[in-house]
Copies of this chain bind each other. A is one copy, B any other.
Amino acid sequence: MKYNAVTIKDVAKALGVSTSTVSRALRDSHEISPETKELVLECAKRLNYTPNPIALSLKEKKSRSVGVIVPEVANGFFSQVINGIESMAFDKGYDVIISQSLESYEREIRSVQFLASRSVDGLIVSLAAETANLDHLLQLHDRGLPMVFIDRITDEINTHKVIVDSFRGTYDATEHLIQSGAKRIAVIAATEFLSTTRERVAGYREALLANGIKEQPELIHYCFYGGIEFAEIEEIVNKLFTLRQKPDAILTTSDKLTTGVLKTLKRRGIKVPQDVALAGFSNTDIPELIDPPLTLIRQPAREMGAAAIDLLLQMVNSKRPVKEFEKRRLSPELQIRESSQARQRPKPGSKK
């Protein structure tokens, strides 16, 4: 069952020397004669010795592993983030331990504590939608556990953060919709407690303002579960399309919402972009295959992951406590396709 690991002791015994000698020889210490080193190295190889990282971790109080907590792995954006994290961590000799919160506050707490108790050297966190209280993370942060937030961040904890410029994302997308002729742009956003949601809705608002369009409260909707509950989206779309004045464009703030809204529109027979334009955040790898091809705001997910692990390892390997923190803000990319494009708009009232 448990495979017989060759230890430093076995090598020592085989050679009739002490474990200290073996250890030092393996680490190429100057206190060991070249001949002995030779012998030890040869013997270690012959016996197929592999160092036990757990013993080392115990001594060094470092595990050379980092924990990653994301809402969900099976999500285009987050899986790309993880890709970025893993690639760089692997190159630097770090393990990546994954845990999902599934948007649940309770599960996030358990995940965090689980990872912390497993002595990860640091944590990369993207907050769950439900999470309003940050004590579970603050506690660890106060005890000195290096921590980097990604995408869904918080102001309550002072540490490195990696985000995309969400404000600009929705600002540009909104402006683009306006230039394409939209006058009544609805927003379907995720939980309003998320940092990303707040920034994105703010970008939308600012763009309306800058273009002299008055904000309409009935056009702004939040999905608490961000589309995991499909019914949530349907209800909102229903509301929007039973308004006296229907929206002529919809802006969505997350991957699930973007595709979810499109699904709902299709089911209801609402044509995009003829009846309503659509644009939103998404990191799907097949935007051009979707009908209609989707205009979307894409986040540089891989790069964000890479930035996060980079910042984290900087902290982990820093001699003294890091006091200056960075908020690394990458640029989103607005990809314009048909779903948002200008088109013949029926005269008001000419259509049901």
Q: Which residues of A contact B (CB under 8 A)?
A: 1-5, 50-55, 57-58, 61-63, 65, 72-76, 79-80, 82-83, 86-87, 90, 93, 95-100, 102, 110-111, 114-119, 140, 143-146, 259, 262-263, 266, 284-286, 288-292, 301-302, 318-321
Contacts and interface: CB of A to CB of B under 8 A. Distances in A.
B90 A80 contact: no
Residue of A50, A259, A289 with most partner-chain B CB within 10 A: A289
17 contacts: A1-B144, A2-B61, A2-B62, A4-B143, A50-B117, A52-B58, A73-B73, A74-B82, A74-B302, A79-B79, A82-B98, A90-B100, A90-B110, A95-B114, A96-B99, A98-B98, A286-B290
B63 A54 contact: yes
Given A54-B58, A74-B302, 4 more contacts: A53-B118, A65-B118, A262-B289, A291-B291
A98 B96 contact: yes
A279 to B, nearest CB: 15
Nearest to A62: B2
A83 B90 contact: no
Contacts of A83: 72-74, 100
Contacts of A73: 73, 79, 82-83, 86
A301 B74 CA distance: 10
Most buried by B among A73, A110, A320: A73
Given A86-B98, A98-B86, A117 B72 contact: no
